[in-house]
Amino acid sequence: MHSEMVDQQLALNKLTLQDNAPVERPVSGSEYYHASIGSSGLTLERDRQICFALEGTCAADIPAQVWRDAIATTTQANPALRMRWKGILGWSRWVNDGPPPSLRMLDHVDWSLNSSEHMDFLDAWPIDLRHGPVVEFIVARRPDNRLLVVMRTHHAIMDGMGGFHVLCELFRALRGEPLLGSNVTFSDAQLVEALNPPKSPSLRVPTCRLIEHAEPGYSVNNSVSNSVSNSGSNSGSNSVSNSVTKSVNQVDLLGDAWQRFSLGSGHSKALSKVACAFAALAHKSSTLPALIAVPVDLRRHMPAMRSVTNFSSMLVVKLLPGDGPEVFQTRLRELLEAKVELSVAKGFNLIRWFPMWLVDVLLGRTRKNFLSKRPMETVVISNLGAVPLQHFQGAGFEADDFTCVPIPGNAFAVLMQINGDFRVILGLPKAQLAQCQFDEIARFVNESL
């Protein structure tokens, strides 16, 4: 074990950490995958975006130039915000000569941060990876001295932790404080290659959806009531019902939607309990294993890293009917101790030699297969932990709310804590929502905790 740790440290020492260094390197497999989804125009997928939104009070109007200056300072310290895609297939590279992030100032938007309704303003212009800009900041004035601040980018550019880093940097600049900057010149693939993880068995086994799809032409009038008992948690009668009857057509089932709901405060082991609640919901209509995918930050293997770009992988925890939070927690801990996320990330490398349109068609949803296509996981749960709202203050703005947009395509949940309140942002395909509405899911999850 000691010699293995020494070997890994020697490998990591070969990776260069350089403050404020431009990103000039090959596109990694995971970045290529994220860029491919939604790229062909032949599928139902939209491009993979990372979108964070803050809302809060503002003592006085903040001029656009103040925001532009803060964005310029943030970009200077984090050159990856000017990345631009060059080349094709496995020869694709990032170069650092793109335009800086753009700023859009709006007088009013109707978006409440609680759901996907009234979000059209976010997509006023597409994110162009080849020409840029690849990051957009939106500042929208609200009534009663309120302000909305949005950061929008492509998942091929950054992951969630990179987005958090950029937002924190922006507000350091607004406060006139020194920025941390970025110091990473290599990719997630190069980090994994240096660590050279052992091959691990795949958990890609047949799995169930969080909620089974409705079929076109059928009337929806579901009522499901059952008692679930999770080991390590209180037993209770949890019901999911839908008393609304309507005829479902294919148009109703296209696309995705999301909504945010509260779980209250005082929960311990919230991730494990929410994962088991989702598994119990899936097991109401299937006996297949529920696969709970949990994003893992690869930066944990090199704590000195400060990076905007993608360093996320995924661990998959299998839950059988009746498995409780202790089972989930034990299995997740074992996967983390075995560093399985490194093996998962390594498997992305070959995808760069497939045309992007083909990757989209092979992996994306189409009008022909979106109801029958089986999911790779039951639900993804991204655990953000406690959101540090105190970091998002500057120039008279003080954030008191935060949300993010789940990645579409399958069930995707984000678990976070804001001022002691646990919240879940859940995104679902509309084909699943036709069978069970968000408020019913929220009730089920709350009763399961």
- pLDDT, residue 164, reads 94
Task: List, in order, residues 6 or more apart from 106 with CB less than 8 Å away.
Answer: 121, 138, 139, 140, 141
pLDDT at residue number 154: 96
Phi, psi angles (nearest 5°) of residue 61: -65, 130
Round the CA-based radius of gyration of the chain to a whole number and report it: 22
Bond preceding residue 216 cis, omega within 30 of 0: no
Place of tokens 């070997």: 7
Beta strands in 280-362 (DSSP E): 290-297, 312-319
How far apart are alpha carbons 101 and 389 in whole angstroms?
A: 23
Helix 160-175, helix 64-77: angle, nearest 10: 120
**What's the token pair of residue 109?**
């938007």
**Helix 325-337 and helix 270-282, axial crossing angle in degrees, nearest 10:** 110
What is the set of domains in the chain, with CATH numbers?
A: 15-195 (3.30.559.10), 219-448 (3.30.559.10)
* Matching residue, tokens 């390197």: 25
For residues 211 and 436, the answer to whether their CB atoms sit within 8 Å is yes
* Successive 10-residue mean pLDDT values, the chain, 449 residues: 54 77 91 94 91 94 96 96 95 95 93 91 89 96 93 96 96 97 92 80 78 57 38 40 45 82 92 96 92 94 92 94 95 92 76 95 88 88 94 95 93 95 94 82 92
Return the pLDDT at 225: 38
The number of angstroms, rounded, from the C-alpha of 439 to the middle of its chain's C-alpha atoms is 22
* Residue that the structure tokens 């690869």 belong to: 298
pLDDT for residue 2: 55
pTM of the model: 0.88
* Residue 149 neighbours by CB distance under 10 Å: 23
Any idea which residue has 């970009």 for tokens?
75
What 3-state class would DSSP assign to 170? Answer: helix
Pairing of strands 290-297, 379-386: parallel
